[in-house]
Structure formats: structure tokens, C-alpha cells
Amino acid sequence: MSSLPTTLGELKGHPLGSRERILRSVKEELRENLLARLRQGGPLFEGVLGYEDSVMPQIVNALLAQHNFILLGLRGQAKSRILRALVTLLDEHMPVVAGSEVNDNPYAPISKYARELIEARGDDTPIAWVSRDQRYVEKLATPDVTIADILGDVDPIKAARGGHILSDELTIHYGMMPRANRGIFALNELPDLAGKVQVGLFNIMQEGDVQIKGYPVRLALDVLLCFTANPEDYTARGKIITPLKDRIGSEVITHYPETVALGMQITAQEAWVDRGGLPVRIPDFVAEVIERVAFEARTDKRVDRRSGVSQRLPITVMESVVSNAERRAVMLGDREVVPRLSDLYAALPAITGKIELEYEGELIGATVIARELIRRAADATMRERAGYIDSDAIVIWFDQGSALQVTDDVESAALQKAFGTVPGLLDLVRLVGLATEGDIPVEVAACELLLEALVARRKLSRSDGGEYMRAPHEQRRRPGQEPLGGGMSA
């Protein structure tokens, strides 16, 4: 930054100060930098996974076409992350007239302040440099947002102190959009914006200027406008004004991860599991169960699909599961942190807080549904990894009146010994490749996975306190009735 020009005269003679470069619109700048990145290859935005063949091509097309655009998707679909990543397509630094509130272009100022300063000082006009991160302005649309918040208002105090009449441009207190001039302005949850404020966006989107408080003051702003919205709100009558919708150039649809493997990759990227203390080792089938909880919730009719099930659910569940395993490891003096299936039940608050229920679900209760989701996720994981296996000996052992108490605060060696009393249980999890003999923490987690799958198939039951026992007769499936999800022998 120290080597960059500090006056208008220095800027004119600097390689970064060519008029052609500085006078580009922000959309032209984004287009040029995007083309350069496409030539280089590689991901468009770091850390945005699963959109390479669906969302990203649409965003590229919108930027190449120099369109304002909207991202439509349910919560937790990386919409805000994508918008914030757009700044990586801006130049690293941009020159502005020093002291300008609207990032005035030194070669084409739009505010009265900058015009008068350049007229008075000429080539000695001070120049400041704005980083790309400072060129991104984001606002959450709420019903109480006003035109003044977005565009600006006349400031009587400014007028009094400066001795100006109210219609003087120097009395304006600029809103968020003028302060985003020559940058990106992102408006989240667009349909929540009051109708009269949506009307105020017309001029800037179509004619490229704004008017403040009815005075004949025009600002030819240069802004890329980006929006986000829930698809249902966006299409609902009365939520968004049709003329505004018509002025948005491109409509890009986002989505949740399409495969469990991709969801696991995103969760692994986002979840905070490296705590800087004891080493953390997460069995891959535990990570899969956590991810499948979200997938199961997204297809459950008792969960409100209009709200969606955010990708934050498996991320926060993963963090809670690791935290519970970390607590156990510290208390028992273990050398590493290895989560188990029982840790998912300790993470119930991370599930219940992330799902919105329909009326039927409200009657049952979020906690009951969350427990069912865990069991269904464990069952799906077991089927995916083991397919058909013979669990007759295990079920018979419980049918004869035996029971197992499994809690999340017991050391692994004690649990392994208890699981060893169940005929064939340890041998079975080793046989299907869930665990290797001698890796006690993973063996224990694998045994819990198998028992949870049997609970999901109503061959066993599990109390809220973690006791596995025979399933009540009335809960058992009739002979020949399809077990939950297909698969294991009866």
C-alpha cells in the first residue's frame, strides 16, 4: 500500500492508474477477472462444494452477462458464502477520492464533495485505496428497513453545521447502497423488504441512479446488486413486487448436497473438530450417521420442508458429538477422542434446534422425532455398509430376557467387555469391516451402530437411558412384513 499513488497527479502516471482501467464499471471488472480465473482453471470459489455442475455455471453466466442476480434456496445452502466470495473477483485495491463516502472515482466523481475537491486541488487531490473486502456491503432485509437505510436521507444537523440549505447535496447522509458504490451490494431475504422500499430499488437497477428525499439530487451509482430469498417467499403473491422481480437479471437455484458423501465432505470442512488438545479420531460410519440425520430429516413429512433442514444441522451435531466424546475422554483419562453412536443422543439439542415441525410433528415432539432420525440414520448407514447380515443370534439373546445398559460416560474397555457377552456381536462388526480386532473404541462404536439399526427395525428397543432390550411384542413387525428400509434377517 505504501508504494501506491497518494495524489491524483501520481495516479495518472502510475501503471494502476490508467483511465481505461479505473473507469471500468464494477460489472466489467468482475467480468474481466472472472474470465481470467476461468482460463486458469480450478474452482471458482474456495470452500463452496457441490455446486460445480449446477449452481456455479449459472453464476458464471450471470456475471459474464453483467446481470444483477438472486440466489433462491432454503436456509443453510451457502447463499451468503457465495455472495461474500464474489469479492475475490474484484481487483485487490481500488483508488478513490480520499474522504469520499461513496468511493468516488478520481476520474469520474459523482458526489459534490469529490467534484469540488478535485476542482480546488487538481492533481494534488488526495487519493485513498480501498481493498476488495471493503467493497462488499451486506444487509439483511427486515420489515423495518427504510428507504433512508438503503439509499440515504437529508441530515438537518449536517445542514445546520455547514450552513447549507436542505436541498444541498452536502447535507445528505448516505445509505448503505451509495456507500457500496463501485462494489457489491448484497440484500439477504429480499421478500421481507417492505413494498415501498422495494419500489426504491427500481431506479438503481434500471436507470442506474438514486434520488434522495425527493430533492433533484441524482447519484449515478455503479453497483452489482445481489439478492437471496427462500423460493416459497419469492414466488408468494405480495411478498415481492413484480416490477422488481422483472428487473433482476438472473435467478439461480441453490440446493442441499445431493449425496451423503458430499454432505460428509462439507461437514468435515466446516465442523470444528480439531480442538488443539487430545487427538480426535472420528469413525467414518459415525460421520455418515451424523450426515444421514439431515438427509432423513429432509424427507420426513413431519418436518417443514418449506423451512428446509440446514447443512448447519450435521455441522453442529458433529461439533456436539465431538464435544461429548471429548468430555468423556478427559474424565476417563483416555489418550484420544473417539465419538460413539451414544454421543448422538447427547447432541439432541443440536438437532431439535435446527428443525421446524409440521402440526403432526409438533404433536409428537421434536425430541421424539430427533431420536427416530438418529435410529433411521444408523439403519441406513448399516444397510449401506453391510447389506444383508444374519443377526438372529443377537436378537434371540435379547428375546431371552437379557439387556445391555450403554451410556456415554463408560470407558470403551468396559463396554467392549459387555458387548462381548452378546453372542456374535463383536464378530459380526469385524466381519462386515466396521471395526478391526484390537481397536476397542471403534469396535464399541460399531456395536452401538448395529444395535441402533436393530432398534430402527423394531427387533430391539432402546430406553431413553440407553438400555437395549427385547422389543415389546406389539412393536414387532408381523412375519413377512417389510422391515424398515429393506435388509437384515429376522
CATH code (residue 204): 3.40.50.300
Residue 264 structural domain? 260-475
Assess whether 146 and 165 both reside in one domain: yes
Task: Count CA atoms closer than 13 A to 309's CA, side-chain side.
Answer: 30
Assess whether 249 and 295 both reside in one domain: no
Q: Is residue 285 within 8 Å of 385, Cβ to Cβ?
A: yes
Which amino acid, residue 196?
K
Q: Is residue 2 part of a domain?
A: no
Return d(Cα 123, Cα 8) in angstroms, integer. Answer: 5
What is the structure's pLDDT at 158? 64
Return d(Cα 194, Cα 146) in angstroms, integer. Answer: 8
| pLDDT tens per residue, range 310-320 | 999 999 999 99
Q: Is residue 1 part of a domain?
A: no
Return d(Cα 159, Cα 382) in angstroms, integer. Answer: 71
SS3 call for 250: strand
What is the structure's pLDDT at 484? 38
Assess whether 266 and 336 both reside in one domain: yes
- For the record, the C-alpha cell of 234 comes out as 419469492
Select from 200, 229, 253 the last residue of a domain: 253
| pLDDT tens per residue, range 271-300 | 999 988 899 999 999 999 999 999 999 999
Helix (H) or strand (E) holding 131: strand 127-131
Return d(Cα 126, Cα 358) in angstroms, integer. Answer: 60
Q: Is residue 336 within 8 Å of 280, Cβ to Cβ?
A: yes
Q: Is residue 369 within 8 Å of 303, Cβ to Cβ?
A: yes
Q: Is residue 207 part of a domain?
A: yes
What is the structure's pLDDT at 319? 97
Assess whether 448 and 321 both reside in one domain: yes
- Nearest-5° Cα angle at 324, 319 to 437: 100
- For the record, the C-alpha cell of 376 comes out as 433411521
Q: Is residue 482 part of a domain?
A: no
Assess whether 201 and 343 both reside in one domain: no
Return d(Cα 379, Cα 393) in angstroms, integer. Answer: 18
Query: 271 phi and psi, to 5 degrees?
Result: -75, 145
Return d(Cα 338, Cα 147) in angstroms, integer. Answer: 53
Number of domains in the chain: 2
Assess whether 238 and 264 both reside in one domain: no
Assess whether 299 and 154 both reside in one domain: no
Select from 215, 238, 253 the last residue of a domain: 253
Residue found under cell 428375546: 399
Torsion of the alpha carbons at 425, 426, 432 and 438, rounded to the nearest 10: 170
Assess whether 270 and 208 both reside in one domain: no
CB atoms within 10 A of CB 82: 23
SS3 call for 338: coil
Q: Is residue 426 part of a domain?
A: yes
Assess whether 26 and 85 both reside in one domain: yes
Residues of the chain with pLDDT under 70: 1-2, 154-171, 208-217, 237-238, 473-490
Assess whether 205 and 287 both reside in one domain: no
Q: Is residue 481 part of a domain?
A: no
Q: Is residue 484 part of a domain?
A: no
Select from 253, 279, 312 the last residue of a domain: 253
Return d(Cα 251, Cα 262) in angstroms, integer. Answer: 24
SS3 call for 39: helix
What is the structure's pLDDT at 77? 94
